[in-house]
Amino acid sequence: MGVKDLFDLTGKAALITGGSRGLGLQMAEALGELGARVGITARKQAELDEAVKHLSGKGIEAAAFACDLGKLEGIPALVDRVLARFGTVDVLVNNAGTTWGAPAEDHPAEAWRKVMSLNIDAMFLLSQQIGKRCMIPRRSGKIVNVASVAGLAGNPPGMQTIAYNTSKGAAVNFTRALAAEWGRHNINVNAICPGFFPTKMANGILSVIGDAVVAMTPLGRLGGDEDLKGAVAFLASEASRHVTGQFLAVDGGAWIAG
């Protein structure tokens, strides 16, 4: 098999949570450009419709599935809809997430639970559903969890996101644990740890510490519109078939330099 063939996703079905904008849409583009049929989920139907229009304009077969993953009881029904459309899921990208900014001593308990519910509970339950119903029976699958460099270290000065950081650290270890369990089923489970990208979620904190982040980043810039494409293409394809339980920081070197 040639190198280009290793990255070919023609005929595969991929599901990307939080896929209507930002990093999720960027990864949906990447997998679609490699030939995958792409399903995207998010809460807002209008944003999903716009994303499908964008992907279709690039010649990508795409479908939208509106779902609030924070409401965990709706996850099995979401999987029902995806399977009715695509028949299976070969690649699952757990990207949906949220954050909350507050000093640890004043962090609301309900906000902590909201972050953990979407960032960890939904990741687990959706992976469990896709694993049991698609990947384990077929003895094949790729799960890519979007963690964060925030899960690899503490907060830089000026950043007060203890729930988010904790959830992303949990996502890294969830990746290791699931990879160890499901390797016998020929399922690869890996994580991407993005640094700072100018997304809707990150723009608030970047307005405060953006200059400092760039200054401490060896490559001297924030992440861009195509900087996750190579990472997700690698981890979602046969190019990474002997890689599992790993995390890949995509942050311009800031985590190492810090």
CA dist., res. 147 & res. 166, Å (int): 10
Q: Tokens at residue 254, please? A: 């800031």
Q: What is the DSSP letter of 239?
A: G
Q: Which of 65, 86, 112, 164 is catalytic?
A: 164
Q: d(Cα 174, Cα 61) in Å, to the nearest integer?
A: 31
**Residue 175, both tokens:** 């990746």
Between β-strands 141-146 and 91-94, what pairing exists: parallel, antiparallel or unpaired? parallel
- Enter the tokens of residue 207: 């307005």
Q: Letter for the amino acid at 249?
A: A
Find tokens 């690869």 and name the residue: 188
Residue 120: CA count within 13 A, CB half-sphere: 18
Active site residue 161: no
| Token pair for 35 | 């030939």
Q: Which region, left, alpha or beta, applies to residue 139 given φ > 0 means left and ψ of -120 to 50 means alpha?
A: left
Q: Which residues are catalytic?
A: 164
